Amino acid sequence: MTGADLVKTAAQDQPLSIFDVSGKSTAAELIEESFAVAWTGTQGKAQGTVKNVEWPEFSSVQAEQSGHYVPLMLDSRYEGQEITMVGAKTTTARSLNWVIRLDDLMKDGKTLTAKAEGEEIFVIDFSDAEMAE
């Protein structure tokens, strides 16, 4: 099993309404078509461009209302499980759909580790991702 079986980057036409965040319509508003994750087992390497956007609806924290965001969709096998995303900060929720803000992550290690019920399921290295100005 590879990371590609466990998580996908949202398709360009994927409505962002499934991410429980308003203000943006589709993934194309956040990432360039060239953005992808190459997988070796459960270790991913992100490549391509992430757009710089203003998104006040993303967070009530002013510093998180603009920047570079990547929408990720976990496989349905994780439905109902406690998912923890560990990067620049740690967030836990029972959700298959995540939007990751890269700005702080790129300053602090550049990797995102996902865990389901405490067990690591994949790691994505964003060091080769381009953050548009």
> For the chain, what is the domain count?
1
Q: Give the Cα separation of 17 and 92 in Å (integer).
A: 20
**pLDDT tens-digit profile, the chain (133 residues):** 788 999 999 888 888 877 777 778 889 999 999 999 999 999 999 999 999 999 998 889 999 999 999 999 999 999 999 999 999 999 999 999 999 999 999 998 899 999 999 999 999 999 999 999 9
Q: What is the pTM of this model?
A: 0.92
The confidence score (pLDDT) of residue 13 equals 87
Do 70 and 31 touch, CB atoms closer than 8 A? yes
Read off the amino acid at residue 29: E
CA distances from 95 to 52, 76, 108, 116 (A): 25, 10, 24, 10
Q: Give the Cα separation of 24 and 18 in Å (integer).
A: 11
Range of the domain at 88: 3-131
Do 97 and 8 touch, CB atoms closer than 8 A? no
Q: Is the dihedral of CA 109, 115, 63, 9 positive or negative?
A: positive
